[in-house]
Structure 1
Amino acid sequence: MSVRQPAGNTVVVTGVGRGFGRGTAVAFAGAGARVVGLARDAESLEKLQAELGDAFVPVRGDATDPDLAAELLTRYTPAAVVLNAGAAPVMRPLQDHTWETFRIAWDVDVQQAFHWARAALRLPLPPGSTVVSLSSGAALRGSPLSGGYAGAKATVRFVSEYAAAESLRQALGIRFRAVLPALSPTTDLGTEAAAAYAAYQGVGTDAFVRAMGPLLTPDMAGAAMVSLAAEEDGDALAFTLSAAGLQPV
């Protein structure tokens, strides 16, 4: 059994309660993997388990908990880990933020990336396993209404690249990849962001969304995660993700 093929292997996905995380869990289960799905909301976990059945192992918890990260990696020895959990940014101009609202993504998204990458290296996960961290297209272009979100997502990418360098240095064979999805109003986070930027620009939300062109959906994101986990080794450590698919950065 290849560690890079989903069928028959175990995959851990965080943030499975909605959006791209849910889409990723569904895609891996559809590809024959056992999915250990982490979320904070019990109801969303129950709904996903009802949909996926025995292919899904629900875990209620906080993706920023370092002990939980180490426990799940040790217990399940996953072939792939997809770190999708993240905080929804408070959408407002810089001067209307407080430090508490500005730093939200640093407290959640960056912590998650750090704790799971650290645990994967220290365990370590088996050679050929893959850890995918969800960054954001905002890491490349900024996001002036979402406080520290863009900077936090850029740091998520850096953490993934640092971990990749450590895996190479120690000859561990663990692959670390960062994915930078485009803004998409097919998710709750993307819907709120699109509405905020439309209002900021003085246009209607529908017009703003139409101007975006084809939209990345949770199903597309999930399929991309499965593809990335199964790919042969390549030089790219980070990829943008849009409705057109994955593109190396």
Structure 2
Amino acid sequence: MAGKSVVVVGGTRGLGLGVARAARDAGARVTVVARRVEPDQGIQGDATDETFAEKVLADRNPELLVVTAGAVPAMGPLTGQTWETFSTNWHTDVRIAFSWLRAALRTPLAPGSRVVIFGSGAELRGSPLSGGYAGAKATVRLITGYAAGEARDLGIAMTTVLPLITPGTAVGEAAVEAYGKKDPEQFRAGLTSTPESVGAAIMGLATASDPMASAYVVDGAGLRTLENRQ
């Protein structure tokens, strides 16, 4: 990754920060994109804005684009949700994925570039305490697959990564609190992912010589293709 241009959308915290740090450690020229970031540390803007996404990609022309940005879901049973809270991730995570995938195709990125969109392991078994989060993330994977089909003729590889619950991130801590209420520490002890391990896994994926699979599950043990997650 030495000298290569990398854009990390949502790269100021959580999994995005883990990816950005891993890319910098690998010698890449990293641009982080976030709603709140100092001008000398990245590009500030609304990740759901399609025009903004196109401007960033045209300016930075990344060889690796990683999109981790999304909203922290409102946690609680269905009876405690409103449509506004339930649909939060549909209006943020899905729209962010759509905006950056569309921009990568319209710019377009250079042949040989790679795009990694973060979904969530929540879609594998559902997530009854996080409203529409699991469904939104499943849709993120679907539209990444649609974009990947269009990207092949352009020589751009696209894939979805589904991280499992990761302590030390805003979404991960919300999940620990919601699902580990009976024994939070025991629940936390069974979780292997860290932002650092996920960042390292993404760098491994970005530098692999073999083609990317359509989707991967990632935890502390590394990447597994979605088809072989068991």
Counterpart contact for 2:167–2:176, Cα < 8 Å: yes
Aligned to 2:25: 30
1:216 corresponds to which residue? 193
Contact kept, 8 Å, 1:186 with 1:216, in 2: the verdict is no
Task: Give 2:9's aligned residue.
Answer: 14
Identity fraction in percent? 48
Instruction: Report the counterpart of residue 194 of structure 1 in structure 2.
Output: 176
Unpaired runs of 5+ in structure 2?
Answer: none
| Structure-2 separation of matches of 1:223 and 1:148 | 29
Q: Measured at CA, do residues 37 and 235 of structure 1 come closer, stay the same or move farther in structure 2, by a change above 3 Å?
A: closer
CA distance in 2, matches of 1:207, 1:231: 35
Structure 1 stretches of 5 or more lacking a match? 1-5, 50-56
Would the alpha carbon gap of residues 191 and 122 (structure 1) be closer, same or farther in structure 2, given more than 3 Å must change? Answer: same
* CA distance in structure 1 between the aligned counterparts of 2:47 and 2:186, rounded to whole angstroms: 36
Q: Which residue number in structure 2 is paired with residue 172 of structure 1? A: 154
1:206 to 185, 209, 230: 185
Equivalences for residues 1-249 of structure 1 within 5 A: 6-42=1-37, 45=38, 57-168=41-152, 171-199=153-181, 203-210=182-189, 212-213=190-191, 215-234=192-211, 236-249=213-226
> In the TM superposition, what is the alpha-carbon distance from 1:235 to its structure 2 partner?
5.9
> Deviations along 1:53-77, whole A, 9 cap, x unmatched?
xxxx511111111111000110111
The two structures, once aligned, show a CA RMSD in angstroms of 1.4
Secondary structure of 2:174's partner?
Answer: helix
- Deviating above 3 A after TM superposition, structure 1's stretches of 4 or more consecutive aligned residues are none
Q: TM-score, normalised by structure 1?
A: 0.87
Q: CA offsets per residue over residues 213-247 of structure 1, 9 Å max, x none?
A: 5x211111111111111222336210000110000
